[in-house]
């Protein structure tokens, strides 16, 4: 079934917009997160993540040690840092960073039990409780993230130490759940997709078999977690084992039709399903993935590529329930959505998957970090009103400014590892074709012998140039938002073959392919089925969703109306604004202020200009009002 493979992270050397963000990850985010994880950053909540591994090693040696600290999945923060740092090494030569990774790997390896088990929460203080709480214990979730870290570090450096640790860990898990036939499946899916990476990296077929096992047995006994809960007298958070939708266990995964439950867990699970389907040519499983993809992206996704609309359980709710002010849209959920989209794209080269990848990346994922790389959003609302957002009980999760860290710190290193590995998602290949799934300036060398140099100022310009070395085909995604486009080969207009949103062009050494996309700012309307967005519209340009902040609009956005009779326009690129960006100006109206709570007097409207910035850059200039969706009026 597989039609395309993602490229190695070593194959892409960025420039332009992506280089700026990858430089920020390398120069700021990775060192900052290293200091946080090693408890060396002042004025930030203690992490204890690296110290937990040190204490686990002491516990294994029978030495005196400190208690475990933090969330039950604290190990995963270290794993994602290793992965992000590894990807960064592929772009930036940094012996000091490599040394730091080696030191962390040594610390992690020392915490592995003799039988291959690796989890600091239970090794430090509760060894007798290993594997007794799959619903809440996150042992396989942490293992999965460390498997991904091991593959990344091996892929970039060729160093096997962590890879061998995690192969041993996978064999431990295989023995328990396959060889010994112990009942159970992960409470928090993630290991499934990680095992597939470990399988391809190591060639160990037990990894593939284990991934298949966890997918095949999930939900077959939908009441497994209830039975598990009855066998123990302790818990971590007190999750309800009977909430079958929350934990995606109500039915076998092949029967699932709707994206339900915890959004991050769901997207990780679906990614693993798509990966196994691709590898094993399992059409039934892939058909389930297609149904779940449609449920997620056609009825339960925000315009920004955010998923998971409620704070309660960080979960999906119902079709078209997409409120702006109480949005959850966890940063991690959009990272996982990109993973899912890429796995679907590998099997079915269709532009819809690339469309969603870039929407989630340029909007929710980038919004999850401050422009200076030092502060982060866990939740990504589409409306923020100081005094309400982040304050009242129903809106407490929807903050107006980014915190420096979190007790549950999954999102910052997740964003870092995705940004650092962007090239793997932007480009793909098969035997004779290179695929341009997203537009990323830089040099790319493919295993099939083709080399590309991409020149573009995307996402602020729709002009993209590819300079070719080698011979074969190039397949370029035409975004669905581009109402028109033109493409030339060596300066001459061509009419290439078009399949599922990609143009396919024969290429030879020295060819220059030029693509021009329509970046005209556009007004976007929601389906009438979305109750929260009746009478409202948003403004987009290219892959970017724009928002309106008080700082650009007289301090108040609640009184603004968008005039849909005139198209918004780009302002000139401003290199000094928010590290360089383009504002958008739109025609609109401002309603006069009303002092009474309610009045039967018709308010007057005054024509005004509305100024928007890319949503990913909001909350970088202090606390102020923000809206993505504005009420609209047909001009007078």
CATH number at residue 285: 1.50.10
Confidence grade of residue 635 (pLDDT, cut at 50, 70, 90): low
Is pLDDT of 577 > 90?
A: no
Residue pLDDT, tens place only, 285-318: 999 999 999 999 999 999 999 999 999 988 999 9
Residue pLDDT, tens place only, 455-472: 999 999 999 999 999 999
Looking at residue 573, what is its pLDDT?
A: 80
Whether 389 and 403 have beta carbons less than 8 Å apart is answered as no
Q: Which residues are known catalytic residues?
A: 314, 410
End position of a domain, from candidates 470, 496, 517? 517
Do 597 and 485 share a structural domain?
Answer: no
Is pLDDT of 636 > 60?
A: no
366: phi then psi, degrees, rounded to nearest 5: -70, -30
**Residue 90, in any domain of the structure:** yes
Looking at residue 407, what is its pLDDT?
A: 61
End position of a domain, from candidates 517, 552, 568? 517
End position of a domain, from candidates 393, 411, 426? 426
Looking at residue 378, what is its pLDDT?
A: 79
Residue pLDDT, tens place only, 163-209: 999 999 999 999 999 999 999 999 999 999 999 999 999 999 999 99
Confidence grade of residue 147 (pLDDT, cut at 50, 70, 90): very high
**Residue 434, in any domain of the structure:** no
Q: Which residues pair with 310 in a beta bridge?
A: 315
Looking at residue 164, what is its pLDDT?
A: 98
Residue pLDDT, tens place only, 531-565: 999 999 999 999 999 999 999 999 999 999 999 99
Q: Which stretches of 312-362 are DSSP H helices?
A: 331-347, 351-359
Q: Is 151 exposed, middle or buried (0-12, 13-18, 19+ CB in 10 A)?
A: buried
d(CA 17, CA 213) in angstroms, rounded, equals: 41
Do 488 and 415 share a structural domain?
Answer: no
d(CA 345, CA 274) in angstroms, rounded, equals: 10
Looking at residue 21, what is its pLDDT?
A: 94
Question: What percent of the chain shows pLDDT beyond 90?
Answer: 88
**Residue 206, in any domain of the structure:** yes
Whether 205 and 172 have beta carbons less than 8 Å apart is answered as no
Do 68 and 172 share a structural domain?
Answer: yes
Confidence grade of residue 408 (pLDDT, cut at 50, 70, 90): low
How is residue 571 annotated by DSSP?
Answer: P
d(CA 44, CA 524) in angstroms, rounded, equals: 40
**Residue 381, in any domain of the structure:** yes
Do 93 and 19 share a structural domain?
Answer: yes
CA–chain centroid gap for 332, Å, is: 5
Count, in order, helices (H) and strands (E) of the chain: 18, 23
Do 573 and 547 share a structural domain?
Answer: yes
Residue pLDDT, tens place only, 119-144: 999 999 889 999 999 999 999 999 99
Do 506 and 553 share a structural domain?
Answer: no
d(CA 76, CA 89) in angstroms, rounded, equals: 20
Please state whether beta strands 630-633 and 560-563 pair in parallel, antiparallel, or not at all (unpaired). Answer: parallel
d(CA 233, CA 525) in angstroms, rounded, equals: 52
Q: Is 171 exposed, middle or buried (0-12, 13-18, 19+ CB in 10 A)?
A: middle
Is pLDDT of 527 > 70?
A: yes
Q: Is 238 exposed, middle or buried (0-12, 13-18, 19+ CB in 10 A)?
A: exposed
**Residue 15, in any domain of the structure:** yes
Confidence grade of residue 281 (pLDDT, cut at 50, 70, 90): very high
- Secondary structure percentages of the chain, helix, strand, coil, to 5: 40, 20, 45
Looking at residue 125, what is its pLDDT?
A: 86
Average model confidence (pLDDT) across the chain = 94
Is pLDDT of 404 > 80?
A: no
Looking at residue 406, what is its pLDDT?
A: 63
**Residue 199, in any domain of the structure:** yes
Structure tokens at 174: 């295989």
Q: Say which residues have a Cβ less than 8 Å from residue 5's Cβ, sequence separation at least 6.
A: 346, 428, 429, 430
Do 216 and 74 share a structural domain?
Answer: yes
302: phi then psi, degrees, rounded to nearest 5: -75, 160
Do 543 and 478 share a structural domain?
Answer: no
**Residue 124, in any domain of the structure:** yes
CATH number of 468's domain: 2.60.40
Q: Which structural domain, as residue segments, surrounds residue 568?
A: 522-633
Do 297 and 239 share a structural domain?
Answer: yes
Do 322 and 308 share a structural domain?
Answer: yes
As a whole number, mean pLDDT of residues 386-398 equals 90
Is pLDDT of 249 > 70?
A: yes
Structural domains counted in the chain: 3
Do 496 and 578 share a structural domain?
Answer: no
Do 476 and 615 share a structural domain?
Answer: no
**Residue 166, in any domain of the structure:** yes
As a whole number, mean pLDDT of residues 274-292 equals 97
Looking at residue 401, what is its pLDDT?
A: 84
């Amino acid at each position: 079934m597989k039609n395309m493979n993602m490229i190695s992270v070593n194959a892409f050397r960025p420039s332009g917009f992506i280089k700026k963000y990858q430089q920020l990850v390398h120069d700021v985010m990775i060192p900052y997160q290293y200091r946080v994880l090693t408890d060396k950053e002042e004025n930030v909540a203690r992490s204890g993540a690296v110290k937990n591994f040190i204490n686990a090693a002491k516990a294994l040696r029978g030495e005196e040690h400190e208690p475990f600290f933090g969330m039950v999945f604290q190990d995963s923060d270290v794993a994602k840092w290793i992965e992000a740092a590894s990807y960064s090494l592929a772009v930036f030569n940094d012996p000091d960073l490599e040394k730091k990774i080696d030191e962390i790997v040594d610390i992690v390896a020392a915490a592995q039990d003799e039988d291959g088990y690796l989890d600091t929460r239970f090794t430090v203080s509760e060894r007798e409780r290993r594997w007794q709480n799959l619903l809440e214990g996150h042992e396989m979730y942490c293992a999965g993230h460390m498997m991904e870290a091991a593959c990344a570090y091996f892929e970039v450096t060729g160093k096997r130490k962590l890879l061998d640790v995690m192969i041993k860990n996978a064999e431990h898990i295989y023995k328990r759940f396959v060889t010994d036939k112990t009942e159970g499946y992960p409470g928090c899916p993630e290991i499934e997709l990680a095992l597939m990476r470990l399988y391809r990296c190591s060639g160990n077929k037990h990894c593939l078999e284990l991934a298949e096992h966890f997918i095949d047995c999930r939900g077959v006994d939908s009441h497994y977690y209830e039975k598990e809960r009855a066998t123990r007298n302790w818990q971590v958070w007190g999750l309800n084992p009977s909430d079958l939708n929350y934990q995606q266990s109500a039915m076998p995964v092949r029967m699932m039709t709707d994206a339900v439950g915890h959004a991050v867990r769901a997207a990780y699970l679906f990614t693993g399903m798509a990966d196994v389907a691709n590898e094993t040519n399992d059409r039934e499983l892939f058909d389930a993935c297609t149904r779940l993809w449609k449920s997620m992206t056609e009825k339960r996704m925000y315009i920004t590529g955010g998923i998971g609309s409620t704070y309660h359980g960080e979960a999906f709710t119902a079709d078209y329930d997409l409120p702006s002010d109480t949005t959850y849209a966890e940063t991690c959920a959009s990272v996982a959505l990109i993973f899912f989209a890429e796995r679907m794209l590998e099997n079915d080269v269709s532009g819809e998957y690339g469309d969603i990848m870039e929407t989630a990346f340029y909007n929710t994922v980038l919004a999850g970090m401050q422009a200076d790389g030092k502060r982060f959003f866990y939740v990504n609302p589409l409306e923020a009103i100081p005094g309400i957002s982040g304050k009242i009980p129903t809106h407490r999760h929807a903050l107006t400014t980014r915190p420096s860290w979190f007790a549950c710190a999954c999102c910052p290193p997740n964003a870092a590892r995705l940004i650092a590995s962007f090239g793997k998602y932007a480009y793909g290949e098969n035997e004779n074709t290179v695929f341009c799934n997203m537009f990323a300036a830089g040099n790319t060398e493919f295993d099939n012998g083709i080399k590309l140099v991409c020149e573009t100022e995307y996402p602020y310009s729709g002009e993209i140039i590819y300079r070719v070395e080698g011979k074969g085909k190039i397949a370029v995604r035409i975004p669905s938002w581009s109402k028109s486009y033109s493409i030339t080969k060596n300066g001459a207009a061509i009419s290439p073959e078009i399949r599922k949103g990609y143009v396919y062009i024969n290429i030879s050494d020295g060819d220059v392919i030029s693509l021009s996309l329509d970046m005209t700012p556009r007004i976007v309307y929601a389906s009438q089925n979305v109750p929260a967005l009746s009478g409202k519209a948003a403004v987009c340009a290219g892959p970017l969703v724009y928002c309106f902040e008080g700082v650009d609009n007289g301090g108040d956005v609640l009184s603004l109306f968008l005039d849909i009779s005139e198209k918004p326009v780009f302002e000139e690129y401003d290199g000094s604004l928010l590290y360089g960006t383009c504002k958008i100006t739109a025609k609109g109206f401002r309603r006069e202020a009303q002092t009474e709570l309610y009045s039967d007097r018709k308010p007057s409207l005054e024509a005004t200009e509305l100024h928007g910035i890319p949503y990913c850059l909001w909350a970088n200039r202090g606390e102020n009002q923000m809206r993505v969706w504005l009420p609209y009026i047909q001009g007078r």
